[in-house]
Chain A
Amino acid sequence: MSHVLAVLEQRDGAIRKVSHEVVTGARRLADALAGGAGVEALVLAAGPVRGADQLGGFGADKVITLTNAAFGLYAPEGYARAIADRVKAGGYGAVVFAASATGKDLAPRVAARLGRPLVQDVTDVSVQSGAVIAIRPVYAGKALLRVRVAGHPAVLSLRPNVFTPVQRPKAGSQETAAVDASRGRVVVTRIKAAPAGSLDVAEAPIIVSGGRGLKEPANFRVLEELAAAFGGRAAVGASRAVVDAGWRPHADQVGQTGKTVSPTLYVAVGISGAIQHLAGMRTSKVIVAINKDKDAPIFKVADYGIVGDLFEVVPKLTEEIRKLHG
């Protein structure tokens, strides 16, 4: 029986939400692997982690917290060693990370230590005759690659927002152990935080994106108000045109040269829908477009469109969303 190891993330001593998706994906793999495999969720931290006790609710059989004073912030070398050592000792069928900033850094280190291939940014997993099959977007999302991983463990990272967390209550157990780790040569000294409450577009379940149609940087307030109406679940994204113009930070750019996102809801406001923008958001579950030009290409991929002046439509939408959440 080969268990699945879900590698989770914490920040400031609390489980990050993307970890629920990782447990969900790991659960799916474990159920598909023969012999009733279990899910072990692993989190590295400086001490007890808030939210670890809730992971059973997403299908973790066991939550293991490995603690070390050096593990408060991300410690690339210490984390990689601790995880690889655990995997080598455990005979796992699969090791699953989040394809987050940390996961995409950590997974290759662990995979190389294990001498195993890594499938990054996976959007779908299955098992056929005991082998893990994974699908991942390539060529800026213009094609999908399906690969089979020979041998075990399969090492994967899962694209955020694709594996919708499923409540699958299990009577999960908890275990905490201190591990040895040196400080490592590479040291994260601090995190320069983005303004409080701001959610990263790469992980937000709802994105409200603005383009050149906003006319000037100050007008992004209209979108920030709409995002706020969703009650902390929405981030404000941007097209390259407005990032290049210096209206918005590069971190907010969606598209081929920005971030690839797959939120539940993507609202494109005053964005024409150039192919390079679509490359970054076409895998969103539901796309809404608000544009005054009825022939704008964005309407070709949008599930719902409103043709009109965004300065009139968006405030009204904000009002309606507020009513829902009010």
Chain B
Amino acid sequence: MKIAVCIKRVPDSETRVKIAADGKSLDEAGVKFILNPYDEFAVEEGLRLKEKAGTGEVVVIALGPPAAQETIRTALAMGVDRGVLLQTPGLHPDGLETAKALAGELKDAAFDLVLFGKMAIDDYNHQVGPMVAELLDLPCVTTVAHLEIAGGKGTAEREIEGGVEVVEFPLPAVLTTDKGLNEPRYPALKGIMAAKKKPLDIKPTAPGPGALEILSLTLPPERQAGKIVGEGSAAVTELVRLLREEAKVL
């Protein structure tokens, strides 16, 4: 099994968002960066599939600033064989441009599977995986929460509103992973030491400008604390009246 996993460096989910002076981006001062949590599921699945096959390679590819090397080292410490950094000065909100750069790196290598997270927890774009699949003309299943692969074919399950879709696809394929697929391993000390010696290729990359222009990044309006209608079940009648007459939602 030859597997590629695309991974992104993102701000930790606990980050308190502060807007930078340009009014268009996150103030990164003091922000801790991590491997995108959904990409951890993808890395873990890649490792498990390779282990099950008994042979093969798992490669991670990240597009991002020089600091994304640390993100790649995290994946290497989990057990990934090697990493590629498509090094850019920064990241762009246009998922299509990211997808084009990743597809360019992936197109000549014959991977059995290319794995992505279902979304990055910073931009919530939810698109790079299926876009890469289209650009490479590969079959693709997104938000996979259950996966079986055998004999060059796969069956995946993905959650939809009010149910679960069962999807069949041939390999090679692109998959994006959802929570529930597996429990990602923690890098062991041995893995962390080994990661330092694993190959990490750095390739300067210049994604296109794209057709999306950021106008602003703002904090959402604060919700005003409302009123305490009252205490205990005695307050219910008044609550229902307010919901009908004031909020007009009933």
Q: Which residues of A contact B (CB under 8 A)?
A: 73-74, 76-77, 80, 100-102, 104-105, 107-109, 111-113, 115-121, 133, 136-151, 185-194, 198-200, 202-203, 250-251, 256-257, 264-265, 276, 282-283, 285-288, 294, 299-309, 312-313, 315-317, 320-321, 324
Contacts and interface: CB of A to CB of B under 8 A. Distances in A.
B218 A143 contact: yes
Contact of A146 (B26, B141, B167, B215): B215
B228 interface: yes
18 contacts: A101-B158, A108-B130, A111-B96, A117-B94, A118-B127, A139-B15, A142-B15, A150-B212, A187-B167, A187-B168, A188-B165, A190-B166, A192-B165, A198-B162, A256-B13, A283-B220, A308-B235, A317-B239
Decide if the interface of chain B is mainly helix, strand, loop or mixed: mixed
Contacts of B165: 73-74, 101, 188, 190-192
Given A118-B127, A147-B213, 7 more contacts: A104-B126, A120-B124, A137-B220, A143-B17, A145-B123, A147-B214, A320-B236
Decide if the interface of chain A is mainly helix, strand, loop or mixed: mixed
Contacts of B13: 140, 256-257, 276
**4 A-B pairs with the lowest CB-CB distances in the bound complex, closest first:** A112-B134, A303-B226, A200-B161, A108-B127
Nearest to B94: A117
Contacts of B124: 120-121, 136-140
Interface residues of B, number: 82
A77 B37 CA distance: 28
Given A77-B139, A250-B180, A251-B159, A144 B232 contact: no
Max chain A Cβ within 10 angstroms of own Cβ: one of B99, B230, B243: B243
Contacts of A101: 143, 158-161, 165
B29 interface: no
A300 to B, nearest CB: 5
